[in-house]
Chain A
Amino acid sequence: MNRDTEQIEIDLLLEAIFKRYGYDFRNYARASIERRTRRFLSKSGCRTIPEMIDRLLNDEVFFGGLVRDFSITVTELFRDPRVYASLRRQVVPMLKTHPFIKIWHAGCATGEEAYSLAILLKEEGLYDRATIFVTDFNDGALQKARQGIYSTDKIKEGTRNYQAAGGKNSFSDYYQARYDAVALDGALRKNMTFANYNLVTDGVFGEMHLILCRNVLIYFDRELQNRVFGLFGDSLVRGGFLCLGSKESPTFSTAADQFETVDKTAKIYRKRS
């Protein structure tokens, strides 16, 4: 295989990051990582990748900037409304049969989708029996998730999505405007636990009834996807649900036979009992 110099440099960069900081991007989908590396390089003030590696090894703040850039924080309140409509229709009735439910939002980014699900649980009378783990490897994003303060543009988009998702109330019931931003109702946070968690390197921490991990796995290579589907399988109770991004599925993973399809379009799967 013909690997140009840049390829070797990016290999070294990922290796250096892993050895120095424990963040493992080596099994991320490569084209995307290369793109992010070039972008970070161009705004880093470094002239070359080796120069950037040198600085990363010695400057934790600089590395913090790279983590922010390498993690994808594009998300919305009630992103893909039909997914929430489907959760309401197909997953909520099953969750209602349990006295306590554990839910894990893996790769929550800035938290919009975790709050969206919390609203849905409130409306379905399920919130009080739920423990919701909200995790990401990017501390900066996690901090934003913990605060639950979003721009008015995000709220406008969220309002449209909420209605399309079959929301039962008015979306404005769930937030308060503050100057040029909007704070989501703190009560939505009551049963949420925010934690730094890395899908690449961390392990099982509980038995979940529902795991949501949307548009994270598309950034992983096949090998890493296999690991994470295995991790999700091990982290779900029998019959527990897995909700993925609209282009993701366990079908071609080594864990495929652990899951059955609940809703092919909304990408909701279930661990076989």
Chain B
Amino acid sequence: MTPPLKNPFRAVVIGVSAGGLKALTTLLPLLPKAYPLPVLVVQHRLAESDDYLTKSLDRICAARVKEAEEKEAARAGHVYLAPANYHLLVERNETLSLSIDERENFSRPSIDVLFESAAYAWSARLIGIVLTGANADGARGLALIKKRGGLTLVQDPATAEHDAMPRAAMKACLVDHVLKLPEIGAFLNQIGISGINNAIE
């Protein structure tokens, strides 16, 4: 095992589906402008959606919220949303890729596709979070994050607008923390400031 480092993390990935607008507008504004990790988000939405969600989140967040563009580097202080009708993947050199591959779990973008590629890219240096949703996308991906040594968080199903997705994720692996949205925000902030040790205390 690698000895614990002060700031071992490189990125945060978040998967969210039904109820996501409310969850993201609660959670993402809790991150400071200079949040030290890139945050990658898959929010299920209709194929023909425009960038309304991205723009409205950007308005209320201190961090920069934008749609992921292919080949761009995942940078700290940025929240990247998967564009409608494209899968979002992470390359091992920490750049972003898009694909129009078949839907996974009836979804494009799919949370599993992002989580699995991120798990391979970042292994133990990744934090994976599953929020509200009415399906099971993200469960397999979160299990792989866990398997590769990453840190796994799930929104407390009792507080999620739709509990199926958090529950499916909790069934797929032994998640590290089950938290309410404000607690997830506080946790991410702590990790951002001083790494894992303080956040867990």
Contacts and interface: CB of A to CB of B under 8 A. Distances in A.
A15 B91 CA distance: 20
Interface stretch (B116-124, B131-139, B162-170): B116-124
A31 B100 contact: no
A248 B100 contact: no
Given A30-B92, A31-B89, A35-B117, A219 B71 contact: no
Given A74-B102, A247-B83, A247-B86, A31 B97 contact: yes
A19 B113 CA distance: 30
A222 interface: yes
Contacts of B99: 29, 32, 72, 218-219
B166 to A, nearest CB: 25
B89 A72 contact: no
Contacts of B101: 32, 35, 72, 74
Interface residues of A, number: 18
Interface string A28-61: 0111101100000000000000000000000000
Interface in B16-62: none
B70 interface: yes
B121 A31 contact: yes
Contacts of B86: 218, 247
B91 A222 contact: no
Nearest to B92: A30
Interface in A214-247: 215, 218-219, 222, 245, 247
A178 B86 CA distance: 32
Contacts of B173: none
B161 interface: no
B90 interface: yes
Contact of A247 (B92, B98, B102, B121): B98
A210 B120 CA distance: 39
A74 B120 CA distance: 25
A32 B100 contact: no
Contact of B71 (A32, A35, A215, A222): A222
5 contacts: A32-B97, A35-B116, A218-B86, A245-B100, A247-B86
Given A30-B92, A72-B99, 19 more contacts: A7-B92, A29-B91, A29-B97, A29-B99, A31-B89, A31-B92, A31-B121, A32-B97, A34-B120, A35-B101, A35-B113, A35-B116, A74-B102, A218-B97, A218-B99, A247-B69, A247-B83, A247-B98, A248-B70
Interface of B: 69-71, 83, 86, 89-92, 97-102, 113, 116-117, 120-121
